[in-house]
Amino acid sequence: MGIKIIKKQDYKTTKWSGGETTELFIFPEDANLSDRNFNYRISSATTTDEESVFSDFSGYDRYIMSLTNDLVLKYEGEDFKLEPFEIFYFDGSKNTISYSEVRDFNLILKKGLQGGLRVESLCEDCTLKTYNLSNAIIPVDGNIKVKYNNEEFTIEKFDTLFIGKNDEIEIVNNSGEYSRIIVVEMEV
């Protein structure tokens, strides 16, 4: 697979009952959210209502985190308060309600598939090695530079960089300050 860059201006934004959702990636690429025929979907959504009931994603697992404010959830009757970049994993078929105005980040994956979501803080140059899963990298604090096969690329804030499995990139952080990236792992 090598690498692939998807620019934020190429993302697809649509309305949902609680605000807007922006699809960064769906796999297979010809899949459709409303048909529920995808294996993986990476998205970011705004929640503008004081109370928003999450869509039913039976047959899927979900990861969610806020990029902005505290995210207050009620999941199966239990309350959770998540700070920005704190990740919550849950069954997509279960009753979930948000009581927060936030911009969130989501990974939805079909049950039985491998995948995950994490946040990495970069304070200096580093190497990211992928193994059995492909990775999507999304910088959230600013642009990053990536070296791959002796070429250098700039990945702008909120663009998505895909790295194939069993591959390696060097992330160059020459800003002198720490920068966060979201790393999504998938069987793609």
- The pTM score is 0.92
- Thinking of the domain 11-110, which architecture would CATH place it in? Sandwich (2.60)
* Per-residue pLDDT at 23: 97
Non-local (6+) Cβ contacts of 34 within 8 A are none
Written as one string, the DSSP assignment of 70-105 is -EEEEETTEEEEE-TT--EEEETTS-EEE---EEEE
Nearest to 52 by CA among 95, 18, 12: 18
Give average pLDDT by consecutive 10-residue segment, the chain, 188 residues. 90 87 95 95 90 92 96 95 97 94 96 94 73 87 87 92 86 74 90
Question: Which residue spans of the chain are classified as CATH 2.60.120.10?
Answer: 11-110, 115-186
CATH class of the domain comprising 115-186: mainly beta
Nearest to 178 by CA among 102, 44, 85, 107: 85
* Per-residue pLDDT at 114: 94
